[in-house]
Amino acid sequence: MSARETFPRVVVLYGGLSAEAEISVVSGSAIASALMEEGLSVDQLLITREGLAALLPEGHLRGERLPSEYTTERRAASLTNAPLRPLAELLTEVLREQPDAVYIPALHGPGDESGVVQEALAAAGVAYVGAAPAAARLGMEKDAFKRLARTLNIPTLPHSIVTAEEWTNNREATLSRIAEFAARESEGGALIGKPAAHGSSIGMRIARSREEWAAAVDLALQFGARALLEPYLDHPRELEIALLESPDGSVRAFGPGEVFPGREFYDYDAKYANGVSRTTVSPEISDTLRDELHSSAISLFRGFGGRGLARMDFLMRASGAHTGEWYIS
């Protein structure tokens, strides 16, 4: 029997409303292409930043097209054979017509991978890949995820949260609080700021002074209502663990892979600009460290309610008095 006869139809959702939409296009189109190469029947549901959606033509391949060609209504309209429609309307129709398909939400960023689409899929009772709605939300919330890790005794860097409200109303007092945090928790006042609910290293900045801390908070708050600050580690080792859950509920860990950023830290450009970074799947680490990372990753996967598959990222100090210490990223 062919793959089309053996496996169910697959619907891959990608694009989305967040600042990570272009990364979702890269991920989703690659998944669709790989599945089609294996002979599976695949529908590609594209979502634009305006919240409109359409099915791409049967067998569509991104090829050399830039991801940005898929993310806005004006550009995406030229790629589809059907008019763009509100996402909720099209998704309802696809769910009704394809109740036996397997859905892969290859979405990135708040509002896209944070449980909204998963709720629609769960409500329809269809099979879909990845976390359930509550776990998806938790996975996007860095503050809550770090607190969960601490309850599981998994090493985590200290962090401080700044809300948009307190930043607007009490900027100087908040900066004084950040200064106290930096003096207590960092080396030389070096912090890294990031949005508290975003991925792909969007909105991240290294900050080593009062003025730079303020700039880091300003940048992070462009992408959400809360900023997170934590100690900056100087060129740490970036270790990634892959997790795969079997039908019987057992979870296997693979790796780690190690990323070598081509920049000061693993920012958006280092992650996604071709040739900037490289990754090895056979890093030089001890069996003890590998076992510790595997155990911690599986514990976190179970703790936050992961399902199917996941990736856990860790940072390990590569220099200084605490060389070798590692933390969930």
Domain boundaries, the chain: 3-129, 149-154+234-328, 160-231
Q: How many CB atoms lie under 10 A from the CB of residue 57? A: 12
Q: Which of 62-76, 114-128, 299-313 has the lowest mean pLDDT?
A: 114-128
* pLDDT confidence of residue 168: 97
Q: Which fold does the domain 149-154+234-328 belong to in CATH?
A: D-amino Acid Aminotransferase; Chain A, domain 1 (3.30.470)
- Nearest residue to 20 (alpha-carbon basis) of 276, 139, 198: 198
* pLDDT confidence of residue 174: 98
Average pLDDT of the segment spanning 211-226 = 96
* pLDDT confidence of residue 77: 87
- Whole-Å CA distances, 118 to 23, 26, 131, 136, 313: 19, 20, 8, 8, 23
The Cα–Cα gap between 314 and 294 comes to 11
The Cα–Cα gap between 202 and 194 comes to 7
Q: pLDDT-based confidence at 325, cuts 50/70/90?
A: very high
Asked whether residue 90 carries a pLDDT value surpassing 60, the answer given is yes
Average pLDDT of the segment spanning 233-259 = 94
Place of tokens 């598959």: 309
The Cα–Cα gap between 24 and 17 comes to 10
The Cα–Cα gap between 233 and 157 comes to 10
Average pLDDT of the segment spanning 268-294 = 80
Average pLDDT of the segment spanning 189-212 = 90
- Whole-Å CA distances, 153 to 145, 150, 278, 328: 13, 5, 31, 11
* pLDDT confidence of residue 4: 60
Please indicate whether the domains covering 3-129 and 149-154+234-328 agree at the CATH topology level.
no
Q: pLDDT-based confidence at 121, cuts 50/70/90?
A: confident
* pLDDT confidence of residue 261: 76
Q: Which of 73-87, 194-208, 210-224, 268-282 has the lowest mean pLDDT?
A: 268-282
Average pLDDT of the segment spanning 78-86 = 87
- Nearest residue to 43 (alpha-carbon basis) of 64, 78, 13: 13
Please tell me the pTM assigned to this model.
0.87
The Cα–Cα gap between 210 and 223 comes to 21
- Domain 3-129 CATH class label: alpha beta
Is domain 160-231 given the CATH code 1.10.3720.10 in the classification?
A: no
- Whole-Å CA distances, 135 to 19, 54, 310: 21, 27, 11
Average pLDDT of the segment spanning 255-279 = 69
Average pLDDT of the segment spanning 257-261 = 87
Residues in the chain: 329
